[in-house]
Amino acid sequence: MATETHSAEVASAPGMPQLDFSTWGNQIFWLVLALIAIYLILSRVALPRIGAVLAERSGTITNDLAAAEDLKAKAVEAEAAYEKALVDARAEASNIVESAKAEIKADLDVAIAKADAEIAAKAAESEKAISEIRASALENVKVVAKDTAKEIVAALGGKADAKTITAAVTARMKG
Amino acid sequence: MATETHGAEEGGLVFHPMDQFIVKPFLGEGSDVAWYTVTNATVWMFLAVIATFLLLVLGSSKRSVIPSRMQSVAELAYGFVYKMVEDICGKEGVKYFPYIMTLFMFIVCSNFLGLLPTSFTPTSHFAVTVVLAFAVFITVTVLGFVKNGAAFLGLFWVSSAPLALRPVLAIIELISYFVRPVSHSIRLAGNVMAGHAVIKVFAGFAALTLVSPVAILGITAMYGLEVLVSFIQAYVFTILTCVYLKDALHPSH
């Protein structure tokens, strides 16, 4: 017991176990092995793999950015096409409106002209009818006046021949 | 038994802040450590290997374009070190990326695993950090001469300084060059060891009822600091490696 304690005390007595050179060979041997192991792990497996992953990621990001740029360009293009289509459609619409207007106007003009012609025809017809009526009325007046004159002459005791009365009435009516 | 009584006699406090760093055989009695013995240091080194494997290999096993959480962390670690190498060393440095990543993953995993209670931190040992630092130093020196030949010595000849000053500067540059592996290794081990030792000291004080709340608060605060230090020291070690490598690739000032 006492000796064990003594030896433990001796072991820790020099102060720094770091300066106990009897363990250096052992530590250096195992350290070299550990470093070789880490080096092999890193250079054979870990570093190439992580490097590949990082490269792949930056590649993916670059591709995605390029794709995004592409899509953006396409969107701009699509917007331009849309704008153009809109302008075209507006122009076409105004064209259609113009042509429709012109067509309607032409139709309207034709219809108006036709109506005018009809009205003129009707007016002429009416005028003709009126003049006929007027003429027939004059004729009637003449007949009535002859008859009346004949009757009046007869009533006054005269006997007038038809020719004289007609001439007299005609002269009167002119005058 | 005897130690406990002994410690109690000294006033109730038992401080063994450095005992956590003792390298001893894992599973098994005795304290003899031969070069092949599987020790606690060995176990925690290989846990760091396994952690690296889990994070970087299993984490990325799905290879998904939209990463899972584990894969995000793996990619973050990859991108972090890759960008560091590329920014500092330039395009020619990228082929040394696996080596630098190896250093970074080993250090960062060891540091974080070392924060687990009762664990062992390999990076708190100079044996480990000295090997790491000298590996970098020797690689950089050999690479510098292979790539640039004698022109690598231009690193010490500051051509932008006045001619009279250049020999003096050359000596200073030479000294600073050879001090590099020392500072490189001691910085890492020293930071990790100091933090762990301070936590252990606070833990010793926690045995006293009167100061235990303060001690526990101290442990908590130190632990938070240690989490930062674990990452920052791994980062510092890696970035210095990159800076040294840059000197080998482009020795002109």
Q: Where are the alpha helices (DSSP H) in chain A?
A: 2-12, 24-40, 47-155, 162-174
| Residue from the list B46, B57, B125 with its beta carbon closest to the beta carbon of A34 | B46
Record the pTM: 0.73
Question: Can you give the residue ranges of every domain in chain B?
Answer: 7-249
Question: CB pairs below 8 Å between A and B: how many?
Answer: 143
Q: What is the pLDDT of residues A2-23, one digit of tens each?
A: 344 444 444 444 578 888 888 8
Tell me, what's the pLDDT at A109? Answer: 95
- Closest CA in chain A for residue B127: A24
Subunit contact B60:A27, Cβ cutoff 8 A = no
Subunit contact B67:A53, Cβ cutoff 8 A = yes
Subunit contact A31:B60, Cβ cutoff 8 A = no
User: What dihedral do alpha carbons B247, B251, B252, B253 form, nearest 10°?
Assistant: 30
Tell me, what's the pLDDT at B43? Answer: 94
Can you tell me the mean pLDDT for A151-157?
82
Phi, psi angles (nearest 5°) of residue B36? -100, -5
Evaluate whether A173 touches A142 at the Cβ level (below 8 Å).
Answer: yes
| Cα B235 to Cα B138: distance, rounded to the nearest angstrom | 20
Tell me, what's the pLDDT at B253? Answer: 59
Interface confidence (ipTM) of the complex: 0.88
Distance from CA of B49 to the nearest CA of A (A): 6
3-class DSSP string for chain B: CHHHHHHHHCCCCCCCCCHHHCCCECCCCCCCCCCCCCEHHHHHHHHHHHHHHHHHHHCCCCCCCCCCHHHHHHHHHHHHHHHHHHHHHCHHHHHHHHHHHHHHHHHHHHHHHCCCCCCCCHHHCHHHHHHHHHHHHHHHHHHHHHHHHHHHHHHHCCCCCCHHHHHHHHHHHHHHHHHHHHHHHHHHHHHHHHHHHHHHHHHHHCCCCCCHHHHHHHHHHHHHHHHHHHHHHHHHHHHHHHHHHHHHHCCCC
Mean pLDDT of chain A: 87
Distance from CA of B72 to the nearest CA of A (A): 10
Residues pairing with B25 in the sheet:
B39
- Closest CA in chain A for residue B126: A18
Look up residue B12 and give its two tokens: 């109730």
> What's at B147, amino acid-wise?
K
Measured between beta carbons, which residues in chain A are less than 8 angstroms from residue B73? Answer: none
Distance from CA of A70 to the nearest CA of B (A): 22
Distance from CA of B3 to the nearest CA of A (A): 7
Look at the block and give the residue holding tokens 């250093």.
B103
Q: What is the pLDDT of residues A62-119, one digit of tens each?
A: 999 999 999 999 999 999 999 999 999 999 999 999 999 999 999 999 999 999 999 9
Higher pLDDT: A11 or A141? It is: A141
pLDDT band at residue B12 using 50, 70 and 90 as cut-offs: low
